[in-house]
Structure 1
């Protein structure tokens, strides 16, 4: 059986090998591109375009479940410094605790008034810590609201972060939470019900 076609476009097999496979900021990546004609010799002298992108890979360590190592860029929080293989190491870290404040104003839009909330940050604690295995820092929030713990290498521009919320009776300020357009404060619990204490 013979098939006859007027024109068959070239069919190529392209393979890409990048090195190194893991890179840090400001490092160089080299890519080796090999193109072969499926029915013939290597595809030499061809014009080509390349789009190259890097994606951040989430890091996790089996020995430390529940720890957050994602880059973003509370009381009794635990921190740990690990090598890329997940082994504990000694490192100096800048630990910052930030309180999220909401400045809410009532604005007139046409013939009606709406609430507009804008987020502001207040640094409550910033210190360098020597991390060796699991380390802890104690922090007692003075007001209800949203807080963020940031950990970074000294002088670094990116950090890992973890949010937490603090709630208490009689210590909620007017700027502790965002106000929606209906003037309501929305609180979401992390459990369906709680036991006393």
Structure 2
């Protein structure tokens, strides 16, 4: 959550504007970005398919409860980010699976030394490197020690980094092999309490994707 204050203090711009102008637009990403919340948020009924049209795009509904009368759709599903107006350093980013993949690919590109995009190799390597004694990179998850239980499955190496979103989103990038997989779900739509199904689904999904992509070495 402190990331927003840091970025805005250094850049002199709001976090959503800085990301849009410095990263997303130079990469040609059109769906990726924050959606600031209107004040007050209107408790209007959701459409029949529980999707809400926002800026000519559609977003899957998440967990009911934040808004009276309807589940959030195209609105951040995080209480702290909600209080911050929908733009925060830890939550609130929306986008298509394809453009999330393109963003991850740009991280891999810069990590390998290709600086034709807006990201520098030094900055990306700093954020993707796990500090000594830590089990996370700067803002990124890493695979757990148990190869059976970890969300990335058995075919992502220990040098992988990724993100596990509360609503059921995730991506993994293997810094050893270049393997990339993106998963976007709205697993909280029926309630946040059942975490067992997504915990079981994630490794199975990633292992199936890895094998389909030709990555079959278990770690």
Instruction: Please say whether Structure 1 and Structure 2 have the same fold, judged by a TM-score greater than 0.5.
Output: no
Q: TM-score range by the shorter chain?
A: under 0.3
Indicate the structure with greater helix content. 2
In the superposition, the TM-score normalised over structure 1's length comes to 0.23
Indicate the structure with greater strand content. 1
